[in-house]
Amino acid sequence: MHIQTLAVQALRDHEHGAVVPPVHLASTFELDPATSGGDFSYQRGGNPTRAQLETVLAALEDGALEGREQPSRGFAFATGMAATSAAFSLLHTGDEVILPTSVYGGTFRFVETGFERLGLGARWVRDLGELTEADFGESTRMVFVETPTNPTLRVTDLRRIVELAHAHGALVVVDNTFLTPLLQRPLDLGADLVVQSATKYLAGHADLLAGVVTTRDPEIAEKIALSQKTYGGVLSPFDSYRLIQDIKTLPLRLAQQQASAITIAEHLRGHEAVSRVLTPGSHDEREARIQADQADGPGAVLSFELVDGVDRVRFLRALRIPAYAVSLGGVESLICYPATTTHDAMTPQARVDADITEGMLRLSVGIEEVQDLVADLDQALDAAR
Ligand SMILES: *Cc1c(COP(=O)(O)O)cnc(C)c1O
């Protein structure tokens, strides 16, 4: 089965033949009095609806329902940050993590405000593409990667990072929110864990927060399961059900969003009011090659800069279709100004280091008719000049 089919058909209710899965709301489950055992005991530790979602998440990561020697396991969390926190919970006091300065703002905040108290170290690198042996210390235990990066859409060679990290006994965690397993499957490239904010493309309708961890390492899987149960940031049965349903249309949504994003990027590149358009692979030929090699497409987020003299606020106010809002991946187009929204936790210097310029806007392309989006961007650019 193709991944598009799996998204719809990974689950079957064999009991009643219902074409959508049942929602099990029970907080507690009857146990065998002899052993106090059972498939499920208490909702935080696991419940049938979340387990069904986790089956779908693992199937998407593997591109298959079964037949893999080492299949993925998926874990559903209440938010993407809960999933990222679960990945960080694998660390011990004294461990160091290598991260790119352009990492997601919430992850940046976790590292900046939480790591020191937890006795963890962070080594910020401006460009993971330039990571070398010398960046690894004795206590480096993890490399945290986002490719493409947000909002600069820089591409990191995952195979190279995996090779370097594993040679130094460090785990590789990839935040795959921007591409989803439909376009990029980091575990196939050797990464140890994938985290995703399912709030974005997987859920896709700007009405649900969720996070995902996937891994093929049985030991790591046990630790993530324990962290899910211990820290308790689990996804509810009802939201698990909703995410199962949302994932069914993910392939269609993402295909449309990506096609539109490509059209819009091309259009803006030719527009005299726009000075720079950033898409995965646009940085240079090397990154274009890596992107083509490790992903099946650029996704549907792009960033661009207005030329001097085009008023940003006037442009944003003149837009009729994309809402000025943070977040991404939904069916509605959204636009935001990273410097004062998604990346405001960074110091101005940290933003300069990450190449997040004062003029940069980030557009998450939705499923509206692309001609309408192009016309709307054009009229707003005209109005701002
Ligand atoms: C939104 C986002 C997160 C955090 O997810 P939440 O569901 O908001 O907690 C993490 N990483 C990336 C790349 C994101 O875009």
Can you name the residues that pair with 151 across neighbouring β-strands?
A: none
* Residue among 62, 73, 104, 192 flagged as catalytic: 104
Q: Look at residues 325, 303, 337, 318 and name the one whose alpha carbon lies nearest to residue 376.
A: 318
Identify which of 84, 99, 104 to mutate to test ligand 1's pocket (most ligand atoms within 8 A of the CB). Answer: 104
Query: Residue 316 in contact with residue 345, Cβ under 8 Å?
Result: no
Atom of ligand 1 nearest to the CA of 82: 9
In this predicted structure, the answer to whether residue 171 has a pLDDT above a threshold of 90 is yes
Whole-number CA gyration radius for the chain: 21
Can you name the residues that pair with 173 across neighbouring β-strands?
A: 144, 193
- Fold for the domain defined by 3-244: Aspartate Aminotransferase; domain 2 (3.40.640)
Q: How many CA atoms lie within 13 A of 156 on its CB side?
A: 35
In this predicted structure, the answer to whether residue 354 has a pLDDT above a threshold of 80 is no
Every domain of the chain and the residues it spans: 3-244, 250-383
For atom 8 of ligand 1, the residue with the nearest CA is 80
CA of 197 to the centre of ligand 1 (A): 4
CA of 259 to the centre of ligand 1 (A): 23
Active site residue 311: no
Pairing of strands 140-146, 96-100: parallel
What pLDDT score does 367 carry?
A: 98
Query: Residue 169 in contact with residue 361, Cβ under 8 Å?
Result: no
What pLDDT score does 59 carry?
A: 95
Q: What residue type is 272 in one-letter code?
A: E
Higher pLDDT, 120 or 353: 120
What pLDDT score does 56 carry?
A: 96
* Residue among 175, 192, 239, 246 flagged as catalytic: 175
Pairing of strands 334-336, 323-324: parallel
Residues 155-166, mean pLDDT to the nearest whole number: 98
Active site residue 42: no
Rounded to 5 degrees, φ, ψ at 40 are -135, 145
Give the span between the Cα atoms of 244 and 265, in whole angstroms. 31
CA of 72 to the centre of ligand 1 (A): 21
Model confidence band, residue 352 (pLDDT cutoffs 50, 70, 90): confident
Residues having CB within 6 Å of any atom of ligand 1: 79-81, 104, 106, 146, 150, 175, 177, 197, 199-200, 209, 211
CATH number of 250-383: 3.90.1150.10
Active site residue 160: no
Give the span between the Cα atoms of 11 and 217, in whole angstroms. 23
Model confidence band, residue 337 (pLDDT cutoffs 50, 70, 90): very high
Q: What residue type is 196 in one-letter code?
A: Q
CA of 53 to the centre of ligand 1 (A): 19
CA of 232 to the centre of ligand 1 (A): 18
Q: Which tokens in the block code for residue 286?
A: 């090397």
First to last CA, the chain: 51
Q: How many CA atoms lie within 13 A of 186 on its CB side?
A: 30
Higher pLDDT, 361 or 13: 361
For residue 198, the tally of other CB atoms under 10 A from its CB is 30
Active site residue 104: yes
Could you read off the pLDDT of 253-269 as tens digits, one per residue?
A: 999 999 999 999 999 99
* Residue among 200, 242, 253, 351 flagged as catalytic: 200
Higher pLDDT, 345 or 161: 161
Region of poorest pLDDT, from 100-104, 229-233, 340-344: 340-344
Atom of ligand 1 nearest to the CA of 211: 7
Mean residue pLDDT of the chain comes to: 95
Region of poorest pLDDT, from 67-71, 160-164, 179-183, 318-322: 67-71
